[in-house]
Structure 1
Amino acid sequence: MAAYSQTNIFPSTGNVGIGTTSPMFPFHVNGQSRFQGVATFGDSYDDILYGKGLQIVRMQDQGDNAFHISFIRAGTWVAGMGFLRNSSTFAIQNGSSNAATTGVFLSETGKVGINASDPAYELDINGNARIRGNILYVSQFGALYSDINNIAFFGDGGYIFANKNNSVTRAILEPAGTLRLYNSGSEFAKFNGTGDSFIRGNLAIGTDNSKGYKLAVAGSVIAESVKVKLQAAWPDYVFSETHTPLRLSEVETFIKDNGRLPEIPSATDIKKDGIELGDMNALLLKKIEELTLYLIEKDKQVEALKKDYSSLKERLGSLEQQLVDK
């Protein structure tokens, strides 16, 4: 026997309709509805009431990847939410089921994953992230890292870049602006914001190959002063009694044979190897000192010739006078 009241139908068998006399489902409500108390839906039941409204209960292992609640944009798209299959991780996902690995996931320990169904951190993002604001705030002594070998610590106005457990430091930017660089945990460079800086290895400017030099510059250099301090001896030994310079005739022969002064590198060598500034200055000074010795020797010879000339002149004058007197 069926019961009718306005547009409701309560048949003894078949579908029940409220607001309709032709229900299409076992319980069909056409219009607004209200549940006064807790309404439980799903393929299972839990007699503990966790809230005051709607409870959706599924089996612990529901046996499928269906959502607890589905949101359907008819004929276009499906989104849903609920626990993952046989899991305590809660997910909000775009797609036809919760089998996908994309979405927002909340683990039972409170960790949130974005496109990461098993978040290992409080916020675990599998993919790129963008912050549209101007500030990313990391609390004192917080850290950011890309993987186990790259991490940045922030604290006291400075920055430390290291591996994950900070056992191998890569770089330190101090609050005053000093930058320290490390290789395998050892400091090899320091760029001081207020004082001296240093680098332990070779430095190349304008090129990526120092060719073994402490400083290699591919281009011009300008400076108000350059000081070269040689490790080798300065050529003051030229003036010692034990030093014997070449005779000028020997220098002449060498120039004729080689087209350059002795010990001075050739144009070919300079073009190939460049000039050692300190060594070249020392060589040039040596040549100037040797030239000075040559001039001193020549001056002595000139003075001796002048004396000989004066003596000869006196003798010649005496002979001329003797001839006149006869």
Structure 2
Amino acid sequence: MIPVTYFRAADAADALRHGAATGAKYLGGGTNLVDLMRETVEQPAALVDVTGLSGAIESRDDGSLLIGAEARNTAVAEHRLVRERYPVLARAILAGASAQIRNMATVGGNILQRTRCTYFYDSDGSRCNKRTPGQGCDAIDGFNRMHAILGASHSCVATHPSDMCVALAALDAVVHLKSAAGERTLPLTELHRLPEGRPDIETILTPGELITAVELPALPPSIRSTYRKVRDRASYAFALISVAAALEVENNTIKHVRLALGGVAHKPWRARKAEVLLQGQPAIEQSFRAAAEAELADAVPLRDNGFKIELAKRTITAVLGELARGSA
């Protein structure tokens, strides 16, 4: 048995004091961390329970929405302002897991969840650079149907598992952070790292730094947004491909577009190339398909996941088409 010290933080300052200890991990709903501890992938010396911190969801004067990091996923998906202003986020969360898990999982924990790569979880029999740096990656030559086609490296081809984060990336969400050095904010799209040579370093957070809230900027009132997840079964499965999109069309011309992909990379993938190409173009299938082609031009398939490239192109085209027609 591995001994673990448990602290329940009274406030953010208390959490930071305990979180600064060597080997400490912040504990939200535990829907990912506890699983990793059972599999001995994670072996923290201390758990700092942060579920007593703010989970409030507040509308601000500038039209933005501030969501406390300890808000439960169910509470976010069911919140009236989220459903009205950011349906892409509500739909992404509802696509993400079973109701029981959504009731436990927190926003902060969802953002920081780790890959579900089977080789990462197999601590007894598989090589994994994310789990043990320098060991090698058995997924590259193994069964890699679920793995990355964008942004991968010779060290790691795992994908980020979150549905919620794909929607947050498309919404230009801003993460609020607190550490012993003070407070800062960071675009969610900059929080997670691509694997390069150190896939074990997954974010740019400093040791002991704590997510306290996520801010959703106001969207134009006429913009439509949605989320589509393509998976092997209808429930409780991770994405083969997912698309979070927001689109504003005026006189059949694309005025504003945001696009992010899941299931394709080590982090939520903001489709910047596609967005640039779509701006000012006719809101028609040919425009959507051309943008999808450009975004996937650099995709590198593995032995088992080449189908993801065409699947991503078709899903992007279909989702944008639905938004343009107002049927999403």
Using the size of structure 2 for normalisation, the TM-score is 0.18
Structure number with greater CO (CA < 8 Å, separation at least 6) is 2
With normalisation by structure 1, the TM-score equals: 0.18
